[in-house]
Structure 1
Amino acid sequence: MTSFSISRRRALVVAGLAAALATSALAETYPARPLTLIVPGPAGGTPDIVARQVGQQLRSALGQSVIVENRAGASGNIGVSAAARAAPDGYTLLMGFAQTMAMNPVVFKKLPYDPVADFVPIARLVEFELALTVPASVPATNMAELLAWLKAHADKSAFGSFGAGTPSQFAGEMFNRKAGLKMVHVPYKGSAPLVTDLIGGQVQLGFVVPQVAMPHVKNGTLRIIAVTGAHRDPSMPSVPTMKELGYENVVAGGWYGLFAPKGTPADVVARLDKAVAQAMKSPELTKFMAEQDLSPAYQGGRDFAAFQQSEIARWRAVAAQTNFKAEE
């Protein structure tokens, strides 16, 4: 072996050791400055509110501020793309949710990011269900009455969702198919306009986030027939699940979780996961989740990654069953 080869090998070994030491040093000093948490939605929305609450608790766990940056638009694609392009150093994170990280690959033929290849899952935070909701103008208080009314008014029945390609639409499509209905789908840009038109009777039912519907349920302008969770909602225990009523495939809802750009050091991801686990145990966050009708659903990185893959596969199957056409 020549002296040149020996020198080159030594140089490679030294370089490898230096890289390992640098990674170790990063983990030991991380975080040394504030973190940015990108939310691919507008300020004031539920993901934004959750991000800010979680950020406050992460500040206590990490000793650094977490700055929430809203990047709304294009069904979340703008914000997620920005996070994918960020430096993989642990200082830019993403608040991902079911639509952006599991459903958009089904909804769009082309995405400016890959929710699996471009990201490292850190931890799942929360999950939520939807509520099959009808206006007071629909004279139904249970599923049997609702089905009878919908079939008697099949020519003028429509269901609304809080967006095309969202859990709200897919829940409606699955219900449509299972119940043998042919309701027209009317997509809205968010929950607020959907609820407004539900109250006004422009659509005859919708799958709505319970927290959004409850004020109107209390004043008598809306009624909740069933919920899409795997179990009954503790806040309304008398309301059955869709599964109980024979609609076992209409178990739909959403979730939020933290992601980092692919290439973020494993030690940094582990530190963040540990901080999230600590944050999720805080009394302040527990109280907030209960007030927002959100269910804590902490899941560490490896399990969260497997869950994300299963969600993508699940929504692909639902899209195929309901003949959903992907957007360009």
Structure 2
Amino acid sequence: MRIVVPFQAGGIIDTLARLLSEPLQRSLGQPFVIENRGGAGGNVGTAVVARAKGDPHTLLLGSSGPLAISPLIESNLGYDPEADFTPITILARTPLVLVVPAASPWRDLRSMMDSLRGLQRETLYPTPGLGSPQLLAGEAFSRRVGFPATPVHYTGSAPVVTAIVAGEMPFTFENLVLVSGQVRAGTLRALAVTSTERAPMLPDVPTAAEAGLPDFQAGGWYGLLGPADLPTGVVERLHAATVAALAEPHVARRITEMGSPNISSTPQEFRAMIAAETARWRGVLRPPEPPN
């Protein structure tokens, strides 16, 4: 069995795949190999699995970018998220955190929003790439608060965090796991998390709603999928084994540390969630109406 990770090693998606591979291998009695196939914001590796139609030995550790966002902003992806995959279960949903450099004058979200509204120029902010949840959070934030902003796309989250720590950029939304160490060390200041509840990893950081921006949510989600046309019995067996793996204490603890509760789902619920997320972000990506 192979689990295709459509990103480079070391990120959250790769971590999830390796976390699951051992209990799945034990449960299903087959060796599991993690295959990192990065490129084009996750689209290259995702397309690899789409081309493996009917192959029960090829799985995808899928995520919101390639499955719900890229179809809205890119053509000729080489796959159709609705037709080319068999959802198995949602694995995790991780919040983002709004961070600023330690030397930033913004000490809370309300003062930051007031300041941004008063600027007479566009504000630049970094993202780890086109189609990322971080980009969509930034776009939604600028529109909701009401200030002009332009994203600057880096080649991943690591250089984004470096730029913020160095004070080269004023703010960003980034994955909780990737910035919690800098926040605790004092090299970054966290103003809000984008989940409905505070994150156990940073319990002193308010939610966006608590900090002055009601109903603002954003983040990444991840799930296990196979290619289209998998036999029903295979899907049922993979689903049962994966849900059991998610419940193992060391797996559940690690996912909780990532800021995610247990959100495992049925295949049908996962398919419906992909469609709902695509519809939600279509509204964010649609150009705003011109003023009257």
Paired with 1:178 and 1:321, the residues of 2 have a C-alpha distance of 13
1:173 corresponds to 2:142: no
Equivalent residues of 1:120, 1:260 under 8 A apart: yes
Matched, 1:146 2:112: yes
Question: Which of 275, 281, 284 is the matching residue for 1:318?
Answer: 284
Letter in structure 2 aligned against 1:202: E
SS in structure 2 of the partner of residue 298 of structure 1: coil
Name stretches of at least 5 consecutive residues in structure 1 with no aligned partner: 1-34, 324-328
Which residue does 2:244 correspond to in 1?
278
Aligned-residue offset at 1:73 = 0.6
Give the distance between the partners of 2:120 and 2:137, measured in 1 at CA. 19
Secondary structure of 2:286's partner? helix
1:236/1:291 Cα in 2 relative to 1: closer, same or farther (>3 Å)? closer
Compared CA separation, residues 201 and 190, structure 1 to 2 (3 A): same
CA contact (8 A) 1:174 1:249 kept: no
Q: Distance in 2 between matches of 1:90 and 1:227?
A: 38
Q: Residue 135 of structure 1 corresponds to which residue in structure 2?
A: 101
Q: Identify the residue that residue 290 of structure 1 maps to in structure 2.
A: 256
Q: Which shifted more, 289-298 or 140-149? A: 289-298
Q: Give 1:72's aligned amino acid.
A: G
Larger Rg, first or second structure (1 or 2) = 1
Equivalences for 1:218-297 in 2 at 5 Å? 218-248=184-214, 250-297=216-263
CA distance in 2, matches of 1:149, 1:235: 28
CA shift digits 1:84-124 (9 cap, x unpaired) = 11141311111110101111111213321001101110111
Which stretches in structure 2 are left out of the alignment for 5+ residues?
none
Give the TM-score, by structure 1 length. Answer: 0.83
1:185-200 to structure 2, matched below 5 A, reads 185-200=151-166
For 1:110, the aligned partner's letter is: N
Q: Cα deviation per residue 1:16-35 (whole Å; 9 max; x = unaligned)?
A: xxxxxxxxxxxxxxxxxxx1
Cα distance in structure 1, aligned partners of 2:201 and 2:185: 17
Identify which of 9, 21, 35 aligns with 1:55. Answer: 21
Contact 2:92 2:223 in 1 (8 A): yes
Cα distance in 1 for partners of 2:218, 2:288 equals: 14
**Residue type at the aligned position of 2:157:** S
Deviation at 1:277, TM superposition (A): 1.0
Q: For residue 232 of structure 1, report the CA deviation from its aligned partner.
A: 1.6
Alpha-carbon distance in structure 2 between the residues aligned to 1:62 and 1:134: 45
1:113 and 2:79 equivalent?
Answer: yes
Amino acid at match of 2:220: G
Aligned residues: 289
Across the aligned residues of Structure 1 and Structure 2, the Cα RMSD in angstroms comes to: 1.8
Q: TM-score, normalised by structure 2?
A: 0.93
